[in-house]
Structure 1
Amino acid sequence: MIEKIRSLIECVDFKVHLFVKEAKSENYILNEKSDDIFSSASLIKVPILLGVLDYLEKNNQTLDEELPIAIENKVEFSVVTEQNLDSCTLYELLVWMIITSDNSATNVLIDFIGMEELNIYFNKIGLTQTRLQRKMMDFKSLNKGYDNVTTARDMAYLFSRVYQQDLLSDQYSQLVIDILCRQRVHEGLKRYITDDIFIAHKTGSLDTVCHDVGIVYHPSNNYIIGIFLTELADVEIGKRLIGRISKIVYEYFGMNEGRSLL
């Protein structure tokens, strides 16, 4: 498996950061450029999801609470914007933020918690290089050098904690996994896998980056995989590479059913 993946990586002219690890183990099967900081794109929405739920638990607020949607938070690539909604429940905002990567919902939730408070939460749970520095579609801030960033190692750590369900209450921990499993964007990790499996994952892409990271509930052994591509000239090529690597890993776990992988 490792040789196949490395031969694919050697043929591309962009950067590939990736990891593969058993869900129940801290040992990495594959780990490449895991400490490089890169633009998170929409991956940042996963720690935001956790941060909002943590805030609700600590303040005894419910998911049924409705938030107003300010006009300045309505941006492109958003089902909230398409519906011209004036308000949404917290539950709706969280679901749209993940399953369709809704940018308007994300901006409303950033205002609800506060950007700095979210960063404090990220640091508190152990994300050392993940930082929220701008809202979605805020290209003025991006052009000034303010971007949302993370690392492969932070994402591996985050999804391991999501799998362990030890960051939130049992109810909210399961809700996080349920929402991630309802992801509607399947152009990366699930692209070439024909089996009907659950993947609790999140994608993220911009003009020069393409990411997909998540928990694969494999019939033989659950694992966590993250593939993060930067300095891309063509995002579609990136999605296909993510799909090819993901299929190699999926087949590897199938061939090693019932045996130790390490």
Structure 2
Amino acid sequence: MERKIHEMIQASPYEVHLFVKNLATNQFLIGHQLEHSFSSASLIKVPILLAFLSSMEDNHFALDSTLSIAPNDWVDFSVVSEQRLTQSTVYELLVWMIITSDNTATNVLIDVVGMDFLNEYFHRLGLQDTLLQRKMMDVERLAKGIDNCTSARDMAHLFTRIYQQDVLSPAYSKLVIDILSRQRIHESLRRYLVDDIKLAHKTGGLDTVDHDVGIVYSSAIDYSIGVFITNVTNNEQARQLIGRLSKVVYGELVERKEGM
């Protein structure tokens, strides 16, 4: 598997960062460019999810609490904006932020707890390269080179903690996995998998990056996988590559073992 994966990476015109981790043994099966920092795109929404739930626990804030949404909060790529919502429950915003990568929901949640709190929480969680420096769709800051970033190493650590359910209360830990498992964007890791698998994951993409990272639950093995592609010139091509890499890993770790 490892040789085939590296051959596919070498044949790619893009920069590929990748990890595969056995979650039962907590061992990396494959790690490629783990420590290189890159634009996180919407992957940043996963640690935001954990940070916000942590803040709710600390401040005894209920999931059904309602938050106000001003019309000037509405941004593109948002079902909240499409509905012209002026208020929403915290639960709905958290779900939309992950399953449709809603940018308005994300920005409203960022405003509630603040960037400083979020970055401090990321650090306490053990994330070394993950930094929130701009809100979603802030093209002015992005044009100045101010972007949100992470690394394959950080995403591997984050999803290990999510799998172990040792960060939040049992109820909120299960909620995180439930929300990630309801993801509606399936153009990458799940793209070429015919089995009806449980995949708790999050995608992220901009014009020059495409990412997908998550946890595959199966009877053979539970494993985490993250594929992060930078210097992209064709997003569809990049998502196809993620799908092919995912299929190779799934075939080796799940299909081959289940067929024994």
* Coarse TM-score class (shorter-chain normalised): over 0.9
- TM value normalised by structure 1: 0.97
- TM value normalised by structure 2: 0.98
**Structure 1 runs of 4+ with >3 Å offset:** 256-259
Counterpart position of 1:106: 106
Whole-Å separation in 2 of the counterparts to 1:204 and 1:71 = 25
Counterpart position of 1:238: 238
Q: Is 2:55 the counterpart of 1:55?
A: yes
Counterpart position of 1:160: 160
How many residues were matched structurally? 259
Identity of aligned residues (%): 57
Cα drift, residue 258 of structure 1: 10
- Alpha-carbon contact 2:214-2:225 (below 8 Å) kept: yes
- Alpha-carbon contact 2:201-2:215 (below 8 Å) kept: yes
Whole-Å separation in 2 of the counterparts to 1:258 and 1:173 = 32
Output aligned runs, 1:213-232, within 5 Å: 213-232=213-232
The C-alpha deviation readout for 1:17-73, integer Å capped at 9, x for no partner, is: 000011122211100000000000000000000000000000011001111112232
- Alpha-carbon contact 1:220-1:258 (below 8 Å) kept: no
Counterpart position of 1:147: 147
Whole-Å separation in 2 of the counterparts to 1:217 and 1:83 = 34
Structure 1 unaligned blocks of 5 or more? none
Counterpart position of 1:80: 80
Secondary structure of 1:10's partner?
Answer: helix
Secondary structure of 1:220's partner?
Answer: coil
Structure 2 unaligned blocks of 5 or more? none
Q: CA RMSD in A?
A: 1.1
- Alpha-carbon contact 1:221-1:257 (below 8 Å) kept: no
Counterpart position of 2:17: 17
Whole-Å separation in 1 of the counterparts to 2:25 and 2:76 = 40
Whole-Å separation in 1 of the counterparts to 2:135 and 2:49 = 15
The C-alpha deviation readout for 1:96-125, integer Å capped at 9, x for no partner, is: 000000000000000011011100000011
Q: Is 2:172 the counterpart of 1:172?
A: yes
Cα drift, residue 257 of structure 1: 5.0
